Amino acid sequence: MGPPIIGVSENIKKIKELVEHVAHTGFNTVILGESGVGKEVIAQNLYQKSPRVGKPFVKINCAALPEGLLESELFGYERGAFTGAEQKHRGKFQMAHGGVLLLDEIGDMSLVLQAKLLHVLQSGEFAPLGSEKDLKTDTWVIAATNHDLKQDISDGKFREDLYYRLNIIKIYISPLRERPEDIEPLIDYYLDQYASQLGSVKIERPTREVIERLKQYHWPGNVRELQNILKRMLVLGDSHLIVDELFEATGQKQSSPMVPNREQSVETVRSFLDLDNKNLIDNNSFSLKAAKKKAVDKVEREIIAYVLDKMDWNRSKAAKILKVSYKTLLNKITELSINPPASSREN
Amino acid sequence: MVSSYKVLIIDDTEEVLSALCKFFKQKGYVVLSASNGLDGLKMIESGKDDLDIIITDLVLPNISGVAVISIVKKKFPKLPVIAITGWGEHPEALAKEAKADLVMEKPFKLPELEKAARDLLAK
């Protein structure tokens, strides 16, 4: 038995529903999603809920093998097909007959092999290298990739006809950072698993604070990274330290302006606009203009207050530094209700 | 000319879907709609809406039109299905394999589609 599909997010709920509806069909399927989101888990679930369960589930990674080798692995070869082919070799298509063939990282398959794969999908037949006879195959092909295949098609790296052939069912798994609500159920699931693997060892659940921090993290390695983090916590014990390291190690990346973190910028927007959790749609007072004014006011207020504090609230000095007239500064202080700190108010 | 046939229209392009729905309503059909294959399939499988005809786009999120047609034709072989497509020949060939009663390529005129539907319903 493979692992179940864990999560409470809309994305995961939809996937579970989809799996229930399509597992019996055996239609060619593409599973899309970043590395580590659990594409193979979905494939296994499809297999387990299908009438093919009990038949072979064969997996091959199309990125791990050079083209020639991948071809002979997929289709097999006859004895003497090429130098060194001393024995007949069964291909994955033959091994998966009646069952499922998972083509992992299909986006990395060469165009030549894509054409051969298309032929198999269209005809249901293939010929091992060096064989004159075509073999029939009844294999449910499930392909997985972290590529944007549509983009690969425009770049000429993926065959459009193969895409449509495979894409009868499409399952997209969102990255973990877009579904933080799944983190807690995932933690519970894996800790349970580790506990039963380790026998009688008692595993402490991370504190609420740690879980909240993990929800803030952007998980470039997705669920696989979460598993690794949990294992580290188990071994090292100090979960706070591990979370600190997590943010430190990726800190530079997150602060890079090229990769704005959506979660973070949402927070900034909220704080700037005092939106809190008010519903954006029903909030009639919201407009870009009003929002801009609020944001500018907020920044202006902070700058003026900072300079005033540095100058011990000497307004004429502050006005010179800010390069505004004394009068403008006084107006701003009133308008933005900037108050001197308690200590200087006494003076 | 009023029919009270029940049609399910599946298309993921909002403008196309609403235009089709509007047109078929005007023509007196009872119209159900879905914007992806899964929702469409659920309507078909629930069985409580006894459909007379299905019109589906071929390229759809999650469950493609091709899959919807295959599933429908296995369960309800007599239920007519029209496939509409805006893409090249590849999905069209697939739709034929999936045994759609008719494949219409976009762009087409709405009255043409309605006439095709009427012809299939009259069979």
The residue among B26, B16, B10 whose CA lies nearest residue B114 is B26
Domain assignment present for A265? no
Distance from CA of B59 to the nearest CA of A (A): 8
pLDDT for res A259: 42
Tens of pLDDT, residues A114-123: 999 999 999 9
Domain assignment present for B1? no
Domain assignment present for B94? yes
Domain assignment present for A94? yes
A256 or B92, higher pLDDT: B92
A46 and A124 housed in the same domain: yes
Which residues in chain A have Cβ-Cβ distances shorter than 8 Å to B63? 18, 21-22, 169
Contact B64 A168 (CB under 8 A): yes
Tens of pLDDT, residues A129-171: 988 889 999 999 999 999 999 999 999 999 999 999 999 999 9
A47 and A169 housed in the same domain: yes
pLDDT for res A248: 82
Domain assignment present for A89? yes
| B61 closest CB neighbour out of A25, A164, A170 | A170
- Looking at residue A194, its amino acid is Y
Which residues in chain A have Cβ-Cβ distances shorter than 8 Å to B46? none
Say how many domains are in chain B: 1
Domain assignment present for A277? no
Torsion, Cα B83 B85 B91 B97, to 10 degrees, reads 20
**What CATH number is attached to the domain comprising A318?**
1.10.10
Which burial class, exposed, middle or buried, applies to A45 when counting CB atoms under 10 A from its CB (0-12, 13-18, 19+)?
Answer: buried
Contact A167 B64 (CB under 8 A): yes
A187 and A309 housed in the same domain: no
Which residues in chain A have Cβ-Cβ distances shorter than 8 Å to B41? 21
Contact B42 A160 (CB under 8 A): no
A164 and A211 housed in the same domain: no
A255 and A112 housed in the same domain: no
Q: Of the candidates A203, A238, A259, which is a domain's last residue? A: A259
* Rounded Cα distance, B8 and B118, in Å: 14
pLDDT for res A1: 66
Domain assignment present for B104? yes
Domain assignment present for A280? no
Say how many domains are in chain A: 3
Distance from CA of A36 to the nearest CA of B (A): 20
A162 and A204 housed in the same domain: no
Which residues in chain B have Cβ-Cβ distances shorter than 8 Å to A17? 38
**What CATH number is attached to the domain comprising B115?**
3.40.50.2300
Tens of pLDDT, residues A169-216: 999 999 999 999 999 999 999 998 888 888 766 778 889 999 999 999
Q: How confident is the model at residue A312 (pLDDT cuts 50, 70, 90)?
A: confident
Q: Of B44, B56, B62, which to mutate for an interface test with A (greatest number of A Cβ within 10 Å)?
A: B62
Torsion, Cα A76 A78 A83 A85, to 10 degrees, reads 70
A325 or B63, higher pLDDT: B63
Cα distances from A297 to residues A30, A100, A338, A339, in angstroms, run 50, 61, 11, 15
Count CA atoms closer than 13 A to A69's CA, side-chain side.
Answer: 7
The residue among A113, A118, A138, A135 whose CA lies nearest residue A126 is A135
Residue of A nearest to B89 (CA): A161
Which residues in chain B have Cβ-Cβ distances shorter than 8 Å to A28? none
Residue A330 has pLDDT above 60, yes or no: yes
A21 and A116 housed in the same domain: yes
| A22 closest CB neighbour out of B59, B63, B87 | B63
Residue of A nearest to B70 (CA): A25
Residue of A nearest to B90 (CA): A161
Q: Of the candidates A241, A259, A277, which is a domain's last residue? A: A259
* Rounded Cα distance, A135 and A97, in Å: 11
**What CATH number is attached to the domain comprising A99?**
3.40.50.300
Task: Give the DSSP letter of residue A175.
Answer: P
A52 and A161 housed in the same domain: yes
Domain assignment present for B84? yes
Domain assignment present for A5? no
A23 and A165 housed in the same domain: yes
Q: Of the candidates A174, A206, A230, which is a domain's last residue? A: A174
Domain limits for position B35? 6-122
Domain assignment present for B19? yes
Q: Of A167, A172, A174, which to mutate for an interface test with B (greatest number of B Cβ within 10 Å)?
A: A167
Domain assignment present for B48? yes
A28 and A101 housed in the same domain: yes
Which residues in chain B have Cβ-Cβ distances shorter than 8 Å to A172? 62
Residue of A nearest to B74 (CA): A25
A238 and A131 housed in the same domain: no
A27 and A139 housed in the same domain: yes
Does residue B66 sit at the A interface (CB-CB below 8 Å)?
A: yes
Q: With a cut of 50, which residues of chain B have pLDDT below it?
A: none
Domain assignment present for A278? no
Beta bridge partner(s), residue A136:
A125
Place of tokens 């794969």: A117
Domain limits for position A193? 177-259
* Helix (H) / strand (E) containing A151: helix A149-154
**What CATH number is attached to the domain comprising A254?**
1.10.8.60
Domain assignment present for A254? yes
